[in-house]
Amino acid sequence: LQQKRRLVQERIREFPDFPTPGVLFRDITPILKDPVAFAAAIDLLEAHVKASHPQVEYIAGLDSRGFLFGPALAQRLGVGFVLIRKKGKLPGPTVSVAYSLEYGQAELEVQNDAVSPGQNVLLIDDLLATGGTMQAACELMKKLGANILECVVLIELKSLKGQEAIKPNSLYSLLQYD
Ligand code: PRP
Ligand code: HPA
């Protein structure tokens, strides 16, 4: 498992001052470009969820980079994938929640019938920074009555204290940075 974690870690790049000055941007695109690293990432997430949350019924992915990892994980687990999108992208009745980002303001939305009350949902994104996005996604799932098992990310930026922001929901991260 440590070997797989290393494979993933080797495929994360840093870009200073993107998208705005002062932000050190962690870029996950090299993971996707390398099928071995991509498989290692999904292997690690699959092992964690099977061990800790075998009752999971849906993986809910966050727009947009949660869409890169969520469906692959959901297929491995044999469960469905639902989309938590930026506002204005989903047809039909939706619920939405506004939130503030490390570098901006936005609104997330989900279709009313994405999950049913009481269903066991696991949220996934590539990265947790301030936790504002994940917190909003949790609020959306709560509005639908979902039971949130955990929030899962590949990368946690510890110094931004996102884990505090998403409380009382819990966090699992593959890799942590200060
Ligand atoms: C990034 C990242 C997370 C979020 C983390 O997405 O993929 O979703 O920011 O930041 P937070 O913890 O401070 O809320 P971004 O909003 O840049 O959108 P994108 O996935 O569409 O690029
Ligand atoms: N990297 C990638 N995505 C992000 C970051 C980051 O440092 N902060 C907020 N979203």
Protein residue closest via CA to atom 4 of ligand 1:
133
HEC string of 91-150 equals: CCCEEEEEEEECCEEEEEEEECCCCCCCCEEEEEEEEECCCHHHHHHHHHHHHCCCEEEE
From 11, 26, 69, give the residue whose CB has the most ligand 2 atoms within 8 Å, as the site to mutate. Answer: 26
What is the fold, at CATH topology level, of the domain defined by 54-177? Rossmann fold (3.40.50)
CB atoms within 10 A of CB 92: 7
Domain ranges for the chain, please list them: 54-177
* ipTM of the shown complex: 0.96
Residues in contact with ligand 1 (CB, 6 Å cut-off): 62-65, 101-102, 125-134, 162
Task: Dump pLDDT digits (tens) for 140-175.
Answer: 999 999 999 999 999 999 999 999 999 999 999 999
Contact 127, 155 (CB under 8 A): yes
Known catalytic residues? 65, 102
pTM for the model stands at 0.97
Q: Are 62 and 125 in contact (CB under 8 A)?
A: yes
Task: Find the 24 Cα to ligand 2 centroid distance in Å.
Answer: 7
3 state SS of 153: strand
Instruction: Using the mean position of ligand 2's atoms as its centre, give its distance from the Cα of residue 127 in Å.
Output: 7
pLDDT tens, residue by residue, 25-80: 999 999 999 999 999 999 999 999 999 999 999 999 999 999 999 999 999 999 99
For residue 177, the tally of other CB atoms under 10 A from its CB is: 16
From 133, 161, 171, 176, the mutation candidate for ligand 1 (largest count of ligand atoms within 8 A of CB) is 133
Q: Is 127 in the pocket of ligand 2 (CB under 6 A)?
A: yes
